[in-house]
Amino acid sequence: MADGVKPRVKAPSKAAAGEAVVLKTLISHTMESGQRKNKDGSLIPRSIINRFTCDFNGKSVIDVEMHPAISTNPYFEFEAVIPETGELKFTWYDDDGSVYEDAKQVTVG
């Protein structure tokens, strides 16, 4: 499932030093649970994103282990502390080995 996967991230471009900012992420993905059956009655194989991570300047913000019970188009909202100007890096790991990435620059000023 490497087609049509589009990560979207909402992060502030500016922050005060040491401020906790709210980050919202959404990625379009079918998150096939492996429980559903197709018209012939056979199971549709599982195909999900199994891990999501967010780093700020190489320091981990959150690392989420995901199971099939996460909805289609996985959405996460969490907070990060921004001590200095830097880059937020978001990474999603697919069951099929694909890795989807996005990055946001945050300026302290």
Partner 1 sequence: MEFNRRETLALGLGAAAFVALPVRFAAAATGDEMIAAFTGGAAVADGGITLTAPEIAENGNTVPVAVSAEGASSVMILAMGNPTPGIATFNFGEAAGAHTASTRIRLAGTQDVVAIAKMADGSFARASSTVKVTIGGCGG
Binding site for partner 1 (CB under 8 A): 20-22, 33, 35-37, 55-57, 59-72, 74-81
Nearer to partner 1, 4 or 41 (CB): 41
Residues 13, 108, 100: CA angle, nearest 5 degrees: 45
Nearer to partner 1, 13 or 42 (CB): 42
Q: To the nearest whole angstrom, how small is the minimum distance from the Cβ of residue 93 to partner 1?
A: 13
- Cβ distance 96 to 11 under 8 Å? no
Strands 14-15 and 99-108: parallel
Cα separation, 106 vs 11, in Å, equals 8
Cα separation, 60 vs 41, in Å, equals 43
Q: To the nearest whole angstrom, how small is the minimum distance from the Cβ of residue 76 to partner 1?
A: 5
Q: To the nearest whole angstrom, how small is the minimum distance from the Cβ of residue 4 to partner 1?
A: 19
Nearer to partner 1, 7 or 68 (CB): 68
